[in-house]
Amino acid sequence: MKNPARAGLGAAGGPGRILPGIILLLAAVLTGCASGARHVSVIAIWTGAEGQNFQNILDRFRAETGIIVDYQGTRAVDQVLASDVEKGTPPDVAILSRPNDLAQYLRSGALKPLDEVTGPARDAADRQPWQQKDDQGRLYTITVKADLKTRIWYRSPRPPAVLPQTWADLTALGRDTVGGPPWCLGMGSLSTTGWPGADWVEDILLHQSGPDAYRSWAAGTLAWQSPEVRQAWQTWGSIVIGQIDGGDIAALLTDFGDATAQNCALVHQAATPGPGFVELPFPSFTPGAPKVSVVAGDSAARFTTNPAAEELMRYLAEEGQQINPPGLLTSPGLCFSAADLMPTPMADAFYRSALEYLADPGKLDTVLARLDDIRSSIARDEWLTVPCGP
């Protein structure tokens, strides 16, 4: 016999309606929790247009995987990351420009091995000597964005009929073009002000004295007061001092991004200065020497075992996902930017010294002696020895 009470409850919206409702609610909560867990936190230095470019990549990653990336871009990335690691709450992934900082994190055990990076992406990383590995050969970093720094740009719609072969020819070409000091130079870059000068010294040293001297200097074994390094500074001085459009003081007060906003003809920088410039070959110091170049890059490392972060690292490492000029990282004779290989206090002092030298070239002896004092004060195991590659 049918129970009228049960029938009545069902009709009135009792268990007959409540139970499915509860089940639906639980299902919604459970599926909501499951999808909410797939988050990855990433910190990097990129803000503005660079930050937006990276965000576009992250958006595509989200569209493909459903994983939400919480990206934080700030130039204070080093301080924020150090603080987070110390507190035991690091981001899942950090992207840093200095291999030396990544090496220190690897040494402290903060990095996780990137076993998820395999195949061609792993092979490419193996050809880049600046990537961080442990004694067992496990990979800990991948380069997400790389730039070739050995580049000279000339303000002209087309290259000159005769390409300058020497620095004197190059400067003369620039002077003829603008009728005055030809070089564009801006040393300003907020907390890393001075690096454009350091880039010059690195490039000149590499091309004048070769990769071996460059590697020794970057590894802290070749003194700043050595003839090779001193010659590089003096060469830089002879090329640009007194030859900067707007004057040497203006270069100290100008942001590197504004350097080409003047009536100058020549600029040494990685990024394309914009329309109206063509690239010229880097003049040689030693004819017949093999082609070498300085490269810099921002490398990603994983700080947690979040599986979603592993997926992101795999994605970033995949061919075609990196924000790199095609073929750049497989070019021969690439030497990583020495300042980024040096310990932080040494790199900071290098940048500052470029400013001091530009402000007063007569202080070169003092500047180099101070740099050597700092070099001596840094423990040996804080330096990296990275050969040129691949």
Chain contacts with other proteins (rule: CB under 8 A): 47-48, 72-76, 79-80, 83-84, 186, 188, 190-191, 193, 246-255, 258-259, 261-262, 352, 355-356, 359-360
DSSP string, 233-263: HHHHHHHHTT-BTT-HHHHHHSBGGGGGGSS
CB of 237 or CB of 390, closer to other proteins: 237
User: Please, what is the minimum distance in Å from the beta carbon of residue 194 to other proteins?
Assistant: 9
Q: Which is nearer to other proteins, 73 or 210 (CB)?
A: 73
Which strands make up the sheet holding 277-280, listed edge to edge?
A: 266-268, 152-155, 277-280
| Strand pairing class (141-148; 293-302) | antiparallel
Q: Which CB sits closer to other proteins, 142 or 354?
A: 354
CA distance 248 to 250: 5
Q: Where are the alpha helices (DSSP H) in the chain?
A: 4-11, 15-36, 48-65, 77-87, 99-107, 119-126, 167-178, 195-218, 227-240, 248-253, 307-317, 338-341, 344-359, 364-377
What single-letter DSSP state applies at residue 321? T
Q: How far is the CB of 87 from other proteins (least distance, A)?
A: 10
Which of residues 311 and 356 has its CB atom nearest to other proteins in the complex? 356
- Closer by beta carbon to other proteins, 20 or else 32: 32
CB of 90 to other proteins, least distance (A): 13
Report the nearest approach of other proteins to the CB of residue 166 (Å): 27
In terms of CB distance, is 126 or 255 closer to other proteins? Answer: 255
d(CA 239, CA 261): 20
Minimum distance, C-beta of residue 115 to other proteins, in the bound complex (Å): 29
How far apart CA 281 and CA 152 sit, in angstroms, is 7
C-beta of 86: minimal distance to other proteins in Å? 12
